Amino acid sequence: GQNIDQPTEMTATEGAIVQINCTYQTSGFNGLFWYQQHAGEAPTFLSYNVLDGLEEKGRFSSFLSRSKGYSYLLLKELQMKDSASYLCAVSGNYQLIWGAGTKLIIKP
């Protein structure tokens, strides 16, 4: 079967760093995506990893280990506007297989 696991909810403090983990077991792999979704809105693209290692993009970084079926999203210098759900998704052939998302709550 295909499975993507990520924590349901995390809480962090404004200005701090948070790491959101994702583990996956899928029949195909063409890359791993992280999306941000604010309540009632569409997902917006954050990052894409297809090779092992770290991809850095401003305050956000994403890491992938294909052998371990593991990724994380690292958010630095947290801002209140970062309060959202963070969705891990794995690309099979044409489709994206989605995790249930991690709701990140930022406290002042």
* Ranges assigned E (strand) in 26-83: 32-37, 44-49, 53-57, 60-65, 70-75
Q: Which is nearer to other proteins, 20 or 87 (CB)?
A: 87
Per-position x/- string for 38-57, each x denoting binding to other proteins as judged by CB under 8 A, each - no binding: ---xxxxx--x-x-------
Pairwise CA distance, residues 30 & 51, whole Å? 10
Q: Is 89 in the site for other proteins (CB under 8 A)?
A: yes
Pairwise CA distance, residues 97 & 104, whole Å? 21
Collapse the DSSP code of 58 into the 3-class scheme (helix H, G, I; strand E, B; otherwise coil) and give the result. coil
Q: Is 29 in the site for other proteins (CB under 8 A)?
A: no
Among 3, 13, 79, 95, binds other proteins (CB under 8 A): 95
Name the residues that contact other proteins, by CB under 8 A: 30-31, 33, 41-45, 48, 50, 87, 89, 91-101
